[in-house]
């Protein structure tokens, strides 16, 4: 079993839709959770960072963490064509010595 | 303020050769990590350095090595290149682990 699982998609939605992206993990030692957006042939761009269960909101983005279920989500409201990219979840152990990424979900927002 | 910079952006090497990739972190960041990203997959952790010491190592062979300099910049070295080493190599910096990491644009390595 992989440490971090993520539906690779591709996911296609109409402009203005609410997008839900999800990751599950198997190791309860993960304490820090991040979401990155990666455009083709570019480095990942940090979108959200959180370390506690619950919701964290930043503009159109909401990150949700449920440590008891080992499940994290990223919600994108009022999706735009510019949101079309690959979304990567990432997790860090309390020791902070490495970051584990999910395989990424490819998202297309259709105008 | 400049972000994470990596050089070169692209390079092509022949099997068996050696390669050195370079990374300059964001000013004030003391931690640098290296990742390998194969097309269609998420980045795979290779190394983390903090205050010039190795803090973590991923599941990569000894052909991969790295170091961090007093100015916190870093080099990733790969010896005896294999075709399978072709990938995007990403460097990320953070103020101190385990806070959020900021990535450079990567070096695309092609081994032929």
Look at strands B10-13 and B107-111 and give their pairing: parallel
Q: Which residue has the tokens 């959770």?
A: A33
Could you tell me which chain A residue has the CA closest to the CA of B104? Answer: A43
Domain assignments of chain A as residue spans, ordered by start: 4-104
The CATH architecture assigned to B5-111 reads: Sandwich (2.60)
Residue A97 pLDDT exceeds 80: no
| Whether residue B99 has pLDDT greater than 70 | no
Q: Cis omega (within 30 of 0) on the bond before A55?
A: no
> Does A44 sit within 8 Å of B90, measured CB to CB?
yes
Lowest mean pLDDT among A16-30, A67-81, B84-98: B84-98
Residue B59 gets which letter from DSSP?
S
Q: What is the nearest CA distance from B21 to chain A, expressed in angstroms?
A: 15
Residue ranges covered by each domain of chain B:
5-111
**Could you read off the pLDDT of A15-70 as tens digits, one per residue?**
999 999 999 999 888 889 999 999 998 999 999 988 888 999 999 999 999 999 99
Nearest CA in chain B to A51: B99
Whether the predicted pLDDT of B97 surpasses 70: no
**Chain B touched by A7 (CB under 8 Å):** no
Asked whether A108 and A86 are in contact (CB, 8 A), the reply is no
Mutate to test the interface with A, among B25, B32, B42, B96 (most CBs of A within 10 A): B42
**Sheet-wide strand order for A19-25:** A4-6, A19-25, A71-76, A61-66, A54-58
Give yes or no for residue B1 having a pLDDT over 80.
no
CATH class of A4-104: mainly beta
Q: Any chain B CB within 8 A of the CB of A34?
A: yes
Q: What angle do CA B12, B17, B21 make, to 5 degrees?
A: 60
Check pLDDT > 80 for residue B100: no
What pLDDT does residue A41 have? 85
């Amino acid at each position: 079993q992989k440490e971090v699982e993520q539906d690779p998609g591709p996911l296609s939605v109409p402009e203005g839709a609410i997008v839900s992206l999800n990751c599950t993990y198997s190791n309860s030692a993960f304490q820090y959770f991040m979401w990155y957006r990666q455009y083709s042939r570019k480095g990942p761009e940090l979108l959200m960072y959180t370390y506690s269960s619950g919701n964290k909101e930043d503009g159109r983005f909401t990150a949700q963490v449920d440590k008891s279920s080992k499940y994290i989500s990223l919600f994108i409201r009022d999706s735009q064509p510019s949101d079309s990219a690959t979304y990567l979840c990432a997790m860090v152990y309390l020791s902070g010595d490495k970051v584990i990424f999910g395989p990424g979900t490819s998202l297309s927002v259709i105008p | 303020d400049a972000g994470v910079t990596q050089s070169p952006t692209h390079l092509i090497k022949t099997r068996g050769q050696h390669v050195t990739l370079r990374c300059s972190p964001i000013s004030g960041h003391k931690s640098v990590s290296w990742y390998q990203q194969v097309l269609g997959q998420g980045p795979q952790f290779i190394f983390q350095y903090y205050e010039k010491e190795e803090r973590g190592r991923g599941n990569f062979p000894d052909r991969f090595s790295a170091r961090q300099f007093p100015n916190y910049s870093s080099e990733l070295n790969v010896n005896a290149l294999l075709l399978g080493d072709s990938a995007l190599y990403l460097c990320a910096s953070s103020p101190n682990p385990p806070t959020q990491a900021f990535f450079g644009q990567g070096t695309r390595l092609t081994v032929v």
